[in-house]
Amino acid sequence: MLKVRNLNSGYGKLRVLKNISLHVDGGEIVAMIGANGAGKTTLLHTIIGLVRSTEGVIEFNGRNCRRMAAQDIVASGCVLVPEGRQVFAPLSVEENLILGGYVLQKKEGRPAMARELDRQYDLFPVLRERRSQLAGTLSGGEQQMLAMARALMSRPRLVMMDEPSTGLAPLIVRNIFQVIVRLREEGNTVLLIEQNAKAALAIADRGYVLETGKIILQGPAEDLLANRDVQRAYLGREKIE
C-alpha cells in the first residue's frame, strides 16, 4: 500500500531524513519508534505532503505521490492524525467531524457523509454525547478521539497516527490502542508513530526503529520487543518478563 524508497527530507538546509526506505502493507499496523528528534514527525509530514522531500520515492497504492499536494494525498485515501490533536477548538465536535468528511461528501454526497458520521459516533460513543460541545473544552482523551474520528471521516485506506498516547492517562491510552486494533480488524491500515514503544509494538505486526533520521532496525514487532538494544533504549529495562 505504502512504499518509501531512499527518502531524504528536512527543513531548508537541515537534512532530517536520510535515505529512508520502508513499506506498509494493507491490513497491517506498523509501528515506528524512536527518541524525540529522531525524525518521526518529519517522516509523516513528508509522506502526507506537508514537508517536501529532496530525493526519493513515495508510492501510495502504486502511485508516486512525492510531488502531490497534501489535500490530493488525503483525497487518495491517506490521512494523518497529528501530534497534539490539533482540533478546531472554537468549533463543536460535530463541526470538526463534518470538516473531516469534506472529501467524502465531495466524492459521494451528503448522505454518505452522514452515514460516516454515525459510524464514528458508534466507534467513539463519547463524541455522540459531546456532539454540540466546543472541541476546545473536551478532555485530552476526548480530543484525541475527536482527532482520530475526524481523520476517519474521509474513509481512508491508510491512517497515520503521530503520538496518539501523548499526555493521556493509562486507561485512556488503553482505550485508544483498542480502537487502533479495531481499525485493523475492520480492514484499515495504520502507520503508528509512538514513544510508548511497548504499547505500540504490542499491537503492531511489524516495526521500525528510527534514530537520527535513519532506520537502524526493522522486523516483526515481537522480535523488536525481544531485542536487547530496543529494550535498553526504548523500553527502559534489559529484558521484558
Q: Three-class SS of residue 106?
A: helix
14-35 average pLDDT score: 95
- pLDDT tens digits, residue range 128-175? 999 999 999 999 999 999 999 999 999 999 999 999 998 898 999 999
In which element (H, E) is residue 149 found? helix 140-152
Does the 1-77+158-164+188-241 domain belong in CATH 3.40.50.300? yes
Indicate if the pLDDT at residue 116 is higher than 90: yes
- pLDDT tens digits, residue range 31-81? 999 988 999 999 999 999 999 999 999 999 999 999 899 999 999 999 999
Burial (CB count <10 Å: 0-12, 13-18, 19+), residue 122 = exposed
Q: Cα separations (Å) of 29 from 21, 87, 142, 191?
A: 17, 24, 23, 6
Indicate if the pLDDT at residue 18 is higher than 80: yes
Q: Cα separation of 2 and 213, whole Å?
A: 19
C-beta separation of 48 from 78 below 8 A: yes
Of 163, 171, 152, whose CA–CA distance to 31 is shortest? Answer: 163
What confidence tier does 236 reach under pLDDT thresholds 50, 70, 90? low
Indicate if the pLDDT at residue 211 is higher than 90: yes
Q: Cα separation of 34 and 107, whole Å?
A: 37
Map out the domains of the chain as residue ranges. Answer: 1-77+158-164+188-241
Indicate if the pLDDT at residue 241 is higher than 60: no
Indicate if the pLDDT at residue 240 is higher than 80: no
Other C-beta atoms lying within 10 Å of the C-beta of residue 168: 18
Q: Look-up: residue for cell 510508548?
A: 196
Q: Model's pTM, two decimal places?
A: 0.91
Q: Look-up: residue for cell 536520510?
A: 18
Of 200, 90, 79, 84, whose CA–CA distance to 149 is shortest? Answer: 79
Pairing of strands 29-33, 189-194: parallel
